[in-house]
Amino acid sequence: MLRIWIAGGRRLLGIPLILCLTAICRAQPVPLGTVWPLRIDSPSGQIVVYQPQPETFVADKLTARAAVSITTPPATEPTFGAMWMNARVATDRSIRTVTILDMDIKRVHFPNTTDDQQKQFADILRQQIPLMKVTFPLDQLMTSLDVAQKEKVAAEELQTTPPKIIFTATPAVLVSIDGDPQLQQTDQPRVMRVVNTPFILLFDESSRQDFLKTGDTWMSAPAAADYRGRDTDRADQQRWPADFHAAARK
């Protein structure tokens, strides 16, 4: 309906506000996706499939892993396991969803089960999950893939090389040094100190020995060794040159 108002010698056209625009009225609500976990009743018992963790998504191929459980009568507590799957999916970019069309179970693992039992379990999942029209929100899937890629990179950077193990049958002290020993001249002319360690570690240029202060006693070792030398008692300590004690107090 069109209405005309006269104001100040001009004609003004007014169109009543349409409460619902055609485009809005035709819009479809975005599907929320499958509600997890899935529950499947089988001759072996009730199977529960938890939300998969995607690993790769290329074209119409999705690979993922998921936690699963099965409760076999007369048991009342479920047994938990895991499955790895390849799925062919259909992507609807207009409503931002991904739907599983068919799938292949690469591997199933349950504790204390035979290969035949795991194969039977995989066959049930392979047949039943596509019938349930499992749907993922596309944006959630892409976010999960980004997280999975970051976890993969972090796992590759993780160092698993075992550390060097030093065994000794006599008392010893582990001296930590940040990199190669960095020597700095002290006030004493022939004594240098290792500065990149929290320990008091001195180097005597004349004897080419390292000296480690351990409370009221000293330990010595050849320079560049592992600093496991002989431990002296208080009487021996008094015979260390005075310049060592002076350097240690700096």
Query: Can you tell me the mean pLDDT for 188-203?
Result: 88
pLDDT at 12: 44
In tens, the pLDDT along 102-130 reads 999 999 999 888 888 888 888 998 899 88
pLDDT at 166: 80
In tens, the pLDDT along 203-239 reads 888 888 888 887 777 787 777 544 444 444 333 444 4
pLDDT at 241: 55
Percentage of residues of the chain with pLDDT beyond 90: 27
Q: What is the model's pTM?
A: 0.52
Task: Give residues with Cβ within 8 angstroms of 175, minimum separation 6.
Answer: 197, 199, 201, 212, 227
In tens, the pLDDT along 6-30 reads 444 444 444 443 333 333 334 334 4
